[in-house]
Copies of this chain bind each other. A is one copy, B any other.
Amino acid sequence: MALIVQKYGGTSVANTVRIKEVAERVIATRNAGHDVVVVLSAMAGETDRLIHLAQEVAEQPDPREQDVLLATGEQVTISLFSIAVKHMGHEAQSMLGHQARIYTDHAYGRARISEIRTEPIWHNIYKGCIPVIAGFQGLDGRGNITTLGRGGSDTTAVAVAAALAADVCEIYTDVAGVYTTDPNIYHKARKLQRISYDEMLEMASMGAKVLHIRSVEFAKKFNVPVHVRSSFVDESGTMVVKEEKSMEQVMVSGVAYSKGDARITLAGLPDVPGVAARIFTEIAQEGIVVDIIIQGSTDDTSLANLSFTVLRLDRQAAIRVLEGMKKEWTDLDISSDENIAKISVIGVGMRHHAGVAAKMFQALGNEGINIHMISTSEIKVSCVIDDSHTAKAVQILHDVFELDKPLQHEIPE
């Protein structure tokens, strides 16, 4: 008998038929002898519908009130789900943020969970009543409703699992698990049995939408085993767990890519101390996150070049900031390119294996794929390339690192 937190996403509770199917699944887990705590998202599309309503009233809706509005999405699913479970003859009780006592900071729209006072949840478990908790929402110290941002229900589920010291947090979604790469890009992509928190973090930050990045950070911090699996088929998915010794045997666990970036190139910058600091400070003040940065040198020793990537949706804003500097730096030339992709190989084994980067560059070079920028971390090597080469690059790297074969630690003992 285990204590299991199960989180179902928007497509799993998209309508009342699906909600009843999920209720049956939860009851089956109960009947197998486990205690279950359920966390639900809003019905697929509902959050967008509500945002649209808010924007009919104001282009920039007040953040506090928008959170009150958005929180209704999960309130609808947890009540409908509890109605379904009770109709099937089992006990369940919906719990909103204020009832499950999920406390957050004050950052409307992107709040962070600070504490869960678990007494009311435990009380339901003790009574044999399935707690059905609204994902995505919490309460700040003053009793205001907050929301955690897109994908926040994953974080709620992991935080609840951590607070209850649950045996596992199961994240039910519309994919079967975490893959070595995007199966839509390469048919040889293989579902991973296990992946470490750090690898999952790198995958998530590269745009793999299977888990919300903050939920992985939470899982890592509190060492919550997370099982990513499909609510549409009855097979196990991918376990996201603490790094294991056997994982180090493998150089690369996955190939990820992201097409959501733009590259900005600055030429004609004065080559004096403090220029880069000034640029990135002003950009950061606009809330724009900069990813890869390359500082180049030129023949003219009094001028410097600088390239960096930002999210595509921040490109215009970043350029606006930079245009303002032209008054002072008259030689400044700004250009930008959206036709780029970032491609990464990820694996905790890199810490112990040399030559991953070299092997990657060579593989891409052999195919005539030009690398514009490079960035490395302890367990990741990323290259910026032309986005027209994305699929080809993913396939080459997947082949070169032999990701279609079972990883060593996945071979049954």
**Stretch in contact with the other chain, from A48-56, A168-176, A234-242, A357-365:** A48-56
Q: Give which listed residue, B53, B54, B65, B99, contacts A94 with CB less than 8 A.
A: B65
**CB-CB contacts of A75-87 with B at 8 A, as 1s and 0s?**
1101110111011
Q: Cα distance A92–B64 when bound, in Å?
A: 11
Is A143 an interface residue when CB atoms closer than 8 A count as contact? Answer: yes
Measured CB to CB, the closest approach of chain B to A142, in angstroms, equals 9
Decide if A303 is an interface residue (CB 8 Å cutoff).
no
Asked if A16 is at the interface of the complex by the 8 Å CB criterion, the answer is yes
Chain B residue contacts of A145, Cβ below 8 A: 96
Chain B proximity mask over A109-144: 1 for CB below 8 Å, otherwise 0: 000000000001000000000000000000000011
What string of 1s and 0s marks CB contacts (under 8 Å) between A44-69 and chain B? 00000010011011101110111011
Dominant SS among interface residues on chain A = helix
Contact of A75 among B16, B54, B72 (CB under 8 A): B72
Residue of B nearest to A58 (CB): B87
Are the C-beta atoms of B76 and A72 separated by less than 8 Å?
yes
The answer to the question of A210 belonging to the interface, with a C-beta cut-off of 8 Å to chain B, is no
Write the chain B residue with the least CB distance to A70.
B79
Pairwise interchain contact B84-A57, C-beta atoms closer than 8 A: yes
Chain A interface, number of residues (Cβ within 8 angstroms): 39
Q: Which of B58, B61, B75, B98 contacts A98 (CB 8 A)?
A: B98
Interface flag for A394 (CB, 8 Å):
no
Given A53-B76, A60-B87, output 14 extra A-B contacts at Cβ < 8 Å.
A16-B56, A53-B80, A54-B79, A54-B83, A57-B87, A58-B84, A61-B87, A62-B87, A65-B86, A66-B83, A68-B79, A68-B94, A72-B75, A96-B145
* Residues of B close to A120: CB separation below 8 A: 143
Interface centre among A76, A78, A83 (most CB of B within 10 A): A83
- Does the CB pair A98–B57 fall under 8 Å? no
Tell yes or no: A226 within 8 A of B by CB: no
On A, residues with C-beta under 8 Å from B are 16, 19-20, 50, 53-54, 56-58, 60-62, 64-66, 68-69, 71-72, 75-76, 78-80, 82-84, 86-87, 92-94, 96, 98-99, 120, 143-145
Alpha-carbon separation in the docked complex, A62 to B78 (Å): 12
Which single member of B50, B82, B143 contacts A65 (CB below 8 Å)?
A: B82
Q: How far is the CA of A84 from the CA of B56 in the complex (A)?
A: 9
Closest chain B residue to A74 by CB distance?
B72
Q: Name A75's closest neighbour in chain B (CB-CB).
A: B72
Could you list 23 examples of A-B contacts with CB < 8 Å?
A19-B57, A50-B76, A53-B80, A54-B79, A54-B80, A54-B83, A57-B80, A57-B83, A58-B83, A58-B84, A58-B86, A60-B87, A61-B87, A64-B93, A65-B86, A65-B92, A65-B94, A66-B83, A68-B75, A68-B82, A69-B76, A69-B83, A72-B75
Q: How far is the CB of A389 from chain B (nearest CB, A)?
A: 45
Report B-chain residues with C-beta under 8 Å of the C-beta of A58. 83-84, 86-87
B19 touches A98 (CB 8 A): no
CB neighbours (8 Å) of A94 from chain B are 64-65, 68
How long is the Cα–Cα vector from A83 to B67 in the complex, in angstroms? 11
Contacting residues, chain B, for A92 (C-beta < 8 A) = 65
Q: Do A65 and B53 have beta carbons less than 8 Å apart? A: no
Partner of A69, one of B20, B71, B79: B79
